[in-house]
């Protein structure tokens, strides 16, 4: 009996999942006899089973619903909103009771009679008896042979077929290494085909139609629309697409939240839509389609869209962004703030949504299963959200590669093409300090897998292969590897949490020889390498061709917007690279703005005040000196001609030129390096001063004075001290060299010991600096 009860619960739950959408569709098309028959069969089946299992509450509810539906089938009643609502309420209660039957919980019976009475209160819809309609009648489904299996058994079957795939891969490798034998190879091909067929069949046992995910949406949209006083039509497409059952369960909650948000926040009330020139009824479309080994689920509405400006204001008021950061965000970045935890543009908190939690969880849940969430929005026109999720997380086609002698796998679905660096159609160049791969007529960012993973590459860049990748929802880029191996079907399993936490890997697998291989995450590598952090900037710095130098002397230049909003241009040749630095790295010290970059401190131009948040900087270099220039955003790469007008006086702005018909200021690198770069000269050209270890005074008191004079300090007695321009020593120290050569003696007494004492009083700043300068000049003049 227990087995029969469990069977009844499972069957009833399956029918309930499909029934909510059928009832809503039947309400919209009351003459659809096929849907009416499906609903009637459900309540009739439940009533019959309840009599057998002695479940009086379920039997009474299903019997009442059956009577009402029988009247509709007979033409005595018409389907109308009140009747449909009453039937839905009864079916909801049936679902609650079935759930309680499984869990052992109790459900109050106090309002069962009210639910049954609500069915009879629809009697005002009685119409004269008429011939039953046949519109929309669908043929009875062909009976399919089926059997129920436990999920554990299915998982064991899939694990077994995964081991078979690995064994087949290993056998294939060994056959490639062994002398050719046509009979053995033919037998292997037959076995391989059988394994592939078995794998596909067992994989399909784990697959479900995505319609099981969509089936509850019509009911939910109907109830929400009624509660909010809105009119919304829902169109569902692609229900026949199949997806791994575990993936369906993982997507269910994120999809539900997105649809609820679309009805609550996205689609406007009828009167607001009418004023905006839209139909009073809003449109919501949910569709699914398969693309390679990915499933794309699209949710599109024609509502008010996402107000990026409002999100920025909310983020600023919440302390997530500073005002300056908000102003610098692109349209895409502003819309992406919807995924920031704690942000919501809802006017008030409701039971439906608007609590400021949700969309960040949606994205986190989708990304946790290897998926991506893309969002597009136009104010007043609507929102398009696309969920890109893997078809299955078990066996995927992949390409194996290696770098530095270590093997990795890359999902084949992300690969656009594979090229060799030595190919005539491939060129590698540098733009603003970033490496770019020019492949035929397009230029894309180039990422070294060895550099990204911290592995020493086994060959030079010119001898490497490049894999052009297009991650789901990401940007095209090239990944440089030492070697490209075989295309294989690999069994993928989750990697250790500490490995997955890096964001660079999508799982682990086994090679055909049984050795472990990490599966790379193309999106994670792109993010880590900075390829997809700012799509607008990538387009401008990499995807567009660098302006060619024309015969009249045009030079490539970078057009950008300063922190105060002005447009300026600088020659690209002096731009080393672009970086983001936090506000705490910037400080006004020693009379000017400076920025700490790693172990170095550079003068900072273009910024006169401490920024509230992070800031972007151009790292400028003249080959010897380096400085930083703060700015807001990159606008474009342009060609700077020789016909620009010089400024009236020397300064940061050297002149003005026309770009796109607009006057743009031209930065003067000569002035910038002269005014700001004096204290950032390269270490190699600074004079060197060697200090002895006297217990601390030389290092901590005298050292800073010498460093401020432009000297690089080294410790006496080290190899670096042998080439020092000046060697500091105590007056009583025994020196092998004469003071006139390079030794500068320091005494503690105010007055010299005798007339031959050429030492300097240690607190005589002017004398000390003068002596340092003269000795350095002497050494440089002698070429030593």
Comparing CA positions, the residue from 159, 622, 595, 618 lying closest to residue 395 is 159
Q: How confident is the model at residue 146 (pLDDT cuts 50, 70, 90)?
A: low
pLDDT over 90 at 6, yes or no: no
CATH architecture of 2-125: Up-down Bundle (1.20)
List the beta strands (DSSP E) in 202-251.
207-209, 232-237, 242-244
Residues 159-181 as b/e (b if ≥16 CB within 10 A, e otherwise) read eebbebbbebbeebeeeeeeeee
Phi, psi (rounded to 5 degrees) for 112: -60, -45
Contacts 24+ apart (CB under 8 A), 742-749: 742/775, 742/778, 742/779, 744/768, 744/771, 744/772, 744/775, 746/702
CA torsion, points 308, 314, 320, 325, in degrees to nearest 10? 50
How far is residue 333's CA from residue 534's CA, in Å, rounded to a whole number? 8
Please give the residue that has the higher pLDDT: either 352 or 122.
Answer: 122
Return the minimum-mean-pLDDT range out of 169-178, 378-387, 390-399, 616-625.
Answer: 390-399
Alpha carbon distance, N-terminus to C-terminus of the chain: 102
Query: Beta partners for 652?
Result: none
Question: Is the separation of the CB atoms in 69 and 45 below 8 Å?
Answer: no
pLDDT score, position 286: 92
pLDDT score for 540: 43
Dist. CA 275–CA 380, nearest whole Å: 12
Torsions phi, psi of 351, nearest 5?
A: -75, -10
399-536 carries CATH number 3.40.50.300: no
pLDDT of residue 284: 93
What span, in angstroms and rounded, lies between the C-alpha atoms of 272 and 759? 89
CB 379 within 8 A of CB 307: yes
* CA gap 29, 43 in Å, rounded: 20
Query: What average pLDDT does range 220-247 have in this prediction?
Result: 85
Per-domain residue ranges of the chain: 2-125, 158-206, 209-306+345-390, 399-536, 546-680, 686-781
Backbone phi, psi, residue 637, to 5°: -100, 130
pLDDT single digits (tens) 450-490:
888 888 877 776 678 888 887 654 568 889 898 888 777 77
Q: How confident is the model at residue 680 (pLDDT cuts 50, 70, 90)?
A: very low
Q: Which of 476, 475, 478, 397 lies closest to 435 in space, CA to CA?
A: 478
Residue 42 CA to residue 99 CA, distance in Å, equals 17
- pLDDT at residue 533, as a whole number: 37
Residue 741 pLDDT > 90? no
Residue 182 confidence (pLDDT) above 90: no
Q: ∠ at Cα 365 (362, 367), nearest 5°?
A: 105
Q: Band of the pLDDT at 494, cuts 50, 70, 90?
A: low
User: Residue 405: what pLDDT?
Assistant: 85
Question: Which CATH number is associated with domain 209-306+345-390?
Answer: 3.30.565.10
Local structure of residue 719 (DSSP, 8 states): G
Q: Any bridge partners for residue 631, and if so which?
A: 616
Say if residues 511 and 172 touch (Cβ distance below 8 Å): no
- Give the residue with greater pLDDT, 674 vs 302: 302
Report residue 144's pLDDT band, with 50, 70 and 90 as the boundaries: very low
Q: From CA 473, how far away is CA 380, in angstroms rounded?
A: 24
Dist CA 124 CA 120 (whole Å)? 9
- What length is written for the chain? 784
Is the model's pLDDT at 309 over the cut of 80? yes
Cβ atoms 447, 477 nearer than 8 A: yes
User: Mind listing the pLDDT tens digit for each residue in 59-92?
Assistant: 888 888 888 888 888 778 877 778 888 888 888 8
d(CA 195, CA 164): 7
Q: 527-584: per-residue pLDDT in tens?
A: 777 664 333 443 444 334 444 433 345 677 888 889 888 899 998 878 877 777 788 8
The domain defined by 686-781 folds into: Rossmann fold (3.40.50)
Helix axes 217-228, 245-261, angle to 10 degrees: 20
CB 693 within 8 A of CB 677: no
The torsion of the CA quartet 373, 378, 382, 387, rounded to 10 degrees, works out to -10
CA-to-CA dists, residue 151 to 3, 148, 155, 246, 540, angstroms = 16, 9, 6, 11, 51
Over the stretch 244-298, which tens digit does the pLDDT of each residue have? 777 787 888 888 889 988 998 889 999 999 998 899 999 999 998 876 556 889 9
Which tokens sit at 169? 């891969």
Residue 538: its pLDDT value, please?
35
φ/ψ region of 440 (left if φ > 0, alpha if ψ in -120 to 50, else beta) reads: left
Tell me which H or E stretch contains 245: helix 245-261
Average pLDDT rounded to a whole number, residues 83-110: 80
DSSP code string of 172-186: HHHHHHSPP-HHHHH
Q: How far are the Cα atoms of 347, 511, 570, 672, 727 from residue 675, in angstroms, in the given order?
A: 52, 59, 16, 5, 30
pLDDT of residue 269: 92
| Residue appearing with tokens 């062994």 | 178
Q: What is the mean pLDDT of residues 760-774?
A: 86
Q: Quick one: 316 exposed, middle or buried, by C-beta within 10 A (0-12, 13-18, 19+)?
A: middle
- State the SS3 of 534-600: CHHHHHHHHHCCCCCCCCCCCEEEEEEECCCCCEEEEEHHHEEEEEEECHHHEEEECCEEEEEECCE
Chain center to CA of 528: 10
Q: Which residue has the higher pLDDT, 580 or 717?
A: 717
Within its chain, how far is the Cα of 131 from the centroid?
A: 59
* Residue 301 scores a pLDDT above 90: yes
Position 433 scores a pLDDT of 54
Coil, strand or helix at 619: strand
User: Per-residue confidence at 129, pLDDT binned at 50, 70, 90?
Assistant: very low
User: Distance of CA 397 to CAs 247, 410, 449, Å?
Assistant: 18, 9, 20
Q: Beta strands of 379-503 (E only): which ranges?
A: 382-390, 395-403, 406-411, 415-420, 426-431, 434-439, 442-448, 465-469, 477-481, 483-491
Q: What average pLDDT does the chain have?
A: 77
Q: Which two tokens stand for residue 134?
A: 């046949």
Tokens of 657: 């030129």
Closest CA to 742 of 777, 701, 713: 777
Spatial neighbors of 426 by CB under 8 A, at least 6 apart, are: 419, 420, 437, 438, 439, 466
Residue 538 DSSP class: H
Residue 365 predicted with pLDDT over 60: yes
Q: Which two tokens stand for residue 25?
A: 């569709």
> What pLDDT shows up at residue 537?
43
Greatest pairwise CA separation for the chain in angstroms:
135
Question: Residue 133's pLDDT is what?
Answer: 38
């Amino acid at each position: 009996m227990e087995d029969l009860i469990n069977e009844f619960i499972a069957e009833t739950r399956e029918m309930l999942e499909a029934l909510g959408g059928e009832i809503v569709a039947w309400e919209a098309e009351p003459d659809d006899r096929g849907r009416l028959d499906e609903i009637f069969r459900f309540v009739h089946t439940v009533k019959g089973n309840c009599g057998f299992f002695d479940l009086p509450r379920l039997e009474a509810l299903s019997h009442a619903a059956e009577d009402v539906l029988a009247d509709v089938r007979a033409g005595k009643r018409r389907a109308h909103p009140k009747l449909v609502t009453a039937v839905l309420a009864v079916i909801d209660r049936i679902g609650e009771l079935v759930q309680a039957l499984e869990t052992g919980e109790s459900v109050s019976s106090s309002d069962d009679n009210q639910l049954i009475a609500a069915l009879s209160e629809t009697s005002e819809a009685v119409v004269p008896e008429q011939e039953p309609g046949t519109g929309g009648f669908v043929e009875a489904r062909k009976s399919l042979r089926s059997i129920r299996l436990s999920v554990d058994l299915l998982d064991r079957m899939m694990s077994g077929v995964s081991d078979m795939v690995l064994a087949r891969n290993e056998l294939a490798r060994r056959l490639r290494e062994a002398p050719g034998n046509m009979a053995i190879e033919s037998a292997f091909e037959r076995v391989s085909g059988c394994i592939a067929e078995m794998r596909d069949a067992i994989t399909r046992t784990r697959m479900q139609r995505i319609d099981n995910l969509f089936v509850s949406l019509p009911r939910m949209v109907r109830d929400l629309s009624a509660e909010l006083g809105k009119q919304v039509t829902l169109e569902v497409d692609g229900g026949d697409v199949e997806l791994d059952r575990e993936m369906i369960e993982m997507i269910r909650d994120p999809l539900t939240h997105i649809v609820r948000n679309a009805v609550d926040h996205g689609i406007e009330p009828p009167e607001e839509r009418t004023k905006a020139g839209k139909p009073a009824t809003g449109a919501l479309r949910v569709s699914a389609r398969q693309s390679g080994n990915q499933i794309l689920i699209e949710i599109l509405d024609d509502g008010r869209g996402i107000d990026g400006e409002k999100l920025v204001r909310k983020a600023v008021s919440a302390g997530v962004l500073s005002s300056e950061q908000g102003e610098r965000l692109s349209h895409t970045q502003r819309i992406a703030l919807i995924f920031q935890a704690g942000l919501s543009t809802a006017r008030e908190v409701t039971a439906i949504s608007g609590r400021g939690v949700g969309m960040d969880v949606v994205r986190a849940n989708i990304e946790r299963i290897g998926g991506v969430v893309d969002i597009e929005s136009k104010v007043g026109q609507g929102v398009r959200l696309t969920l890109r999720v893997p078809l299955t997380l078990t066996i995927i086609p992949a390409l194996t590669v290696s770098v530095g002698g270590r093997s990795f796998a890359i999902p084949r679905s992300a690969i656009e093409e594979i090229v060799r660096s030595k190919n005539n159609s491939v060129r590698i160049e540098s733009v603003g300090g970033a490496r770019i791969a020019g492949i035929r007529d397009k230029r894309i960012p180039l990422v070294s897998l060895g550099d990204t993973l911290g592995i020493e590459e086994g060959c030079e860049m010119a001898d490497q292969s490049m894999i052009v990748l297009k991650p789901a929802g990401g940007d095209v880029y090239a990944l440089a590897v030492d070697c490209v191996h075989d295309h294989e079907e690999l069994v993928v399993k989750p990697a250790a949490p500490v490995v997955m936490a890096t964001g660079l890997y999508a799982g682990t697998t086994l090679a055909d020889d049984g050795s472990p291989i990490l599966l790379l995450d193309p999106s994670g590598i792109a993010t880590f390498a900075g390829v997809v952090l700012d799509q607008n900037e990538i387009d401008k710095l990499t995807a567009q061709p660098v302006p060619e130098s024309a015969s009249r002397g045009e030079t490539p230049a970078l057009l950008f917007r300063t922190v105060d909003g002005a447009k300026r241009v600088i020659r690209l040749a002096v731009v080393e690279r672009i970086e983001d630095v936090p506000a705490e790295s910037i400080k006004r010290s020693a009379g000017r703005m400076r920025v700490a970059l790693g172990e170095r401190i550079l003068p900072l131009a273009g910024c006169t005040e401490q920024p509230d948040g992070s800031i972007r900087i151009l790292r400028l270099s003249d080959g010897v000196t380096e400085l930083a220039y703060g700015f807001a955003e990159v606008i474009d790469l342009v060609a700077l001609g020789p016909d620009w007008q010089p400024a009236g006086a020397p300064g940061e702005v050297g002149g003005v030129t026309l770009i796109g018909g607009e006057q743009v200021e031209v930065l003067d690198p000569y002035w910038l390096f002269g005014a700001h770069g004096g204290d950032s000269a390269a270490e190699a050209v600074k004079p060197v001063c060697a200090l002895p270890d006297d217990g601390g005074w030389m290092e901590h008191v005298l050292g800073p004075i010498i460093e401020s004079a432009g000297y690089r300090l080294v410790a006496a007695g080290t190899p670096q001290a042998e080439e020092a321009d000046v060697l500091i020593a105590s007056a009583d120290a025994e020196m092998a060299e004469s003071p006139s050569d390079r030794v500068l003696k320091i005494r503690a007494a105010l007055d010299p010991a005798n007339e031959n004492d050429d030492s300097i009083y240690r607190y005589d700043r002017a004398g000390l600096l003068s002596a340092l300068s003269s000795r350095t000049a002497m050494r440089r003049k002698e070429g030593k």
